[in-house]
Amino acid sequence: MDPLNQEQLDHYHHRGWVTLAGPFSPAHVASAAAAIGRMCPEAEAGSNQRSQASFSPSAAGGPIPQPILDMIQHPWQEAVSKQVRRPPHPP
């Protein structure tokens, strides 16, 4: 089954974004958010300074933390990416 229905897919192609309910539990999201907080201390929960935040994997002591990689590399993410990708326009 595709992650997006036709209405969501049309919305994405018309507006360039769509909000989806993913397969991630609140615990997964909290773990990734905590890792992001360690990598980008300015991006604390509730902060309005998001545009001023700096992202640095090295701030977490090295490579991107596993909770973030787990979300990025989840098969659901790839399924969504494949679904929204359009074939190239003919010349």
Measure the CA–CA gap between 28 and 31, rounded to whole angstroms.
5
pLDDT tens per residue, the chain (91 residues)?
A: 678 898 998 999 899 999 888 889 999 999 999 988 888 766 555 555 545 555 555 554 568 889 999 988 999 988 998 888 876 555 5
Report pTM: 0.59
Q: What is the pLDDT of residue 54?
A: 58
Measure the CA–CA gap between 63 and 56, rounded to whole angstroms.
9
Nearest Cα neighbor of 39 from 50, 53, 25, 23 is: 53
